[in-house]
Amino acid sequence: MALQITPVQSHRAGAAWIKNSARSAPPDLIVLHETAGATGWSSYEWGISKGTGYHFIIDRPWPSIAAWRDAKWDGHVWQTAPPASRTNHVGSTVKIAPSKRSINDRAIGISIANMSDGSEPRTAKQRAACLELIKQLKQEFPSLKYVTTHYDIQIWNRHDPLGFDPNYITGEIGLAYLRPSEEELLAAAEAWVNASNGRYKDERKFGVAKTKLWIQHGRKPTSL
Ligand SMILES: [Zn+2]
């Protein structure tokens, strides 16, 4: 398919990149997300307001707003930051051996516009655009070796992209599916709870207990 990538500045003059900074080395990882929001553009604007966000958002039509209802938005890709730079799209402290790099330093973040609550399917065009975008990025950055999901690296408080299986990407594009070891996940979950100053004390919902539960379930989210 022909990929249509629109840098945010091309859609609205003066639009800013998502906050970004230099990487310590070229990216070697793709992290897939879901926006959990309405239009792809609204998710970009939310990121601008927070100083966090992805490099790319793969949009779909949003029927309740006239300007975003058009089928042309199905599979449309917004570039929201330069992929050579790092952005803050994962709040995770997990480090995956043998790399010493943080996830945000390593990764390009791609997010699929979707409510991420089971209320809408990801579209065929979004899926095709995702594959094509990763193929293009792999040509641009031969350093790319891995793909993973936000859920895989932060299963104590994330489920995005909901029910997504990256194996079709590894098969078609030749990137390895990167997952932390159980020990790395549990250590990161513990550090996250400790750093939260009591905010995430509810072990039934967060942290080490939830991480252990997901590991028992084969690291597949069984509920939201
Ligand atoms: Zn995410």
pLDDT at 129 over 90: yes
Are 29 and 106 in contact by the 8 Å Cβ rule? The answer is yes
CA of 90 to the centre of ligand 1 (A): 7
Average pLDDT over residues 130-145: 96
- Residue 200 falls within a domain, yes or no? no
CATH code of residue 30:
3.40.80.10
| Spacing, Cα 34 to ligand 1 middle (Å) | 6
How many Å lie between the centroid of ligand 1 and the Cα of residue 72? Answer: 25
Cα of 56 from ligand 1 centre, angstroms? 12
Residue 121 CA to ligand 1 center (angstroms) comes to: 17
Half-sphere exposure of 189 (CA within 13 A, CB side): 29
Task: Calculate how far, in angstroms, residue 54's C-alpha sits from the geometric centre of ligand 1.
Answer: 9
The answer as to whether 133 is a domain residue is: yes
Q: What is the mean pLDDT of the chain?
A: 92
| Residue type at position 98 | P
**Does a structural domain hold residue 112?**
yes
> What is d(CA 22, CA 170) in angstroms, rounded to the nearest whole number?
27
pLDDT in tens, 28-45: 999 999 999 999 999 999
8 Å CB contact between 200 and 91? no
pLDDT single digits (tens) 63-76: 999 999 999 999 99
User: 160 CA distance to ligand 1 centroid (A)?
Assistant: 5
Using the mean position of ligand 1's atoms as its centre, give its distance from the Cα of residue 112 in Å: 9
Q: How many other CB atoms sit within 10 Å of the CB of residue 126? A: 20
Q: How many angstroms separate the alpha carbon of residue 66 from the centre of ligand 1?
A: 27
How many domains does the structure of the chain reveal?
A: 1
Instruction: Give the residue numbers spanning the domain of 86.
Output: 5-180
Tell me what percent of the residues of the chain surpass a pLDDT of 70.
Answer: 96
Q: Does 210 reside within a domain?
A: no
Residue 92 lies in a domain: yes
Q: What is the Å distance from ligand 1's center to 142 Cα?
A: 24
Q: Locate 168 and state its tokens.
A: 């079709």
Q: Is residue 69 part of a domain?
A: yes
pLDDT at 192: 87
Ligand 1 centroid distance, CA of 125 (Å): 20
Look at residue 192 and tell me if it is in a domain: no
Distance of CA 151 from the midpoint of ligand 1 (Å): 7
Does 212 fall in a domain?
no
Q: Pick the more confident residue, 157 or 137.
A: 137
By percentage, how much of the chain surpasses pLDDT 90? 73
Q: What is the pLDDT of residues 165-217, one digit of tens each?
A: 888 888 889 899 999 999 999 999 998 888 888 777 666 677 888 899 899 98
Beta strands of 18-102 (E only): which ranges? 20-22, 29-34, 56-58, 77-79, 85-87
